[in-house]
A = this chain, B = another copy of it.
Amino acid sequence: MAAKRTFREVARHIIFDSTTIPSKLFDLGLIGAICASVLVVMLDSVASLHKLYGGPLYVLEWFFTVLFTLEYFLRLYAAKSRVRYATSFFGLIDLLSILPTYFSILYPGAQYFLIVRFFRVLRIFRLLKLMAYVREADFVTASIRASGRKIMVFLFFVLVLVSIVGAIMYMIEGPENGFRSIPESIYWAIVTVTTVGYGDISPQTPAGRFLAALLMITGYSIIAVPTGIVSSEMSSMRGRSSRSRSCPSCPDVVHDTDALYCRVCGRRLSGTTKGG
Contacts and interface: CB of A to CB of B under 8 A. Distances in A.
Interface of A: 38, 41-43, 45-47, 112-113, 115, 118-119, 121-122, 124-125, 128, 132-133, 136-137, 139-140, 143-144, 149-158, 160, 163-164, 167-168, 170-171, 175, 180-184, 186-187, 190-200, 202, 206, 209-210, 212-213, 216-217, 219-221, 223-239, 242, 247, 249-250, 252-260, 262-267, 272-273, 275-276
Contacts of A192: 196
Nearest to A230: B228
Contacts of A154: 140, 221
B226 A224 contact: yes
Nearest to A50: B181
Contact of A153 (B41, B137, B181): B137
Given A112-B171, A190-B213, A276 B272 contact: no
Contacts of A119: 164
Contact of A200 (B199, B259, B260, B266): B199
A229 B220 contact: no
9 contacts: A41-B182, A42-B182, A45-B181, A133-B149, A136-B153, A196-B196, A197-B197, A197-B199, A262-B276
A35 to B, nearest CB: 10
B276 A250 contact: yes
A106 B85 CA distance: 64
A258 B266 contact: no
A6 to B, nearest CB: 36
Contacts of A180: 46-47
Given A42-B186, A46-B183, A128-B153, 14 more contacts: A47-B180, A122-B160, A125-B156, A132-B149, A140-B229, A187-B213, A191-B197, A194-B220, A195-B195, A224-B229, A228-B234, A231-B231, A235-B235, A247-B276
Interface residues of A: mostly helix, strand, loop or mixed?
Answer: helix
Nearest to A199: B198
A184 B46 CA distance: 9
Nearest to A175: B47
A234 to B, nearest CB: 4
Contacts of A171: 112-113, 115
Given A119-B164, A232-B235, A253 B258 contact: yes
A220 B206 contact: no
Contact of A242 (B170, B236, B242): B236
A115 B212 CA distance: 18
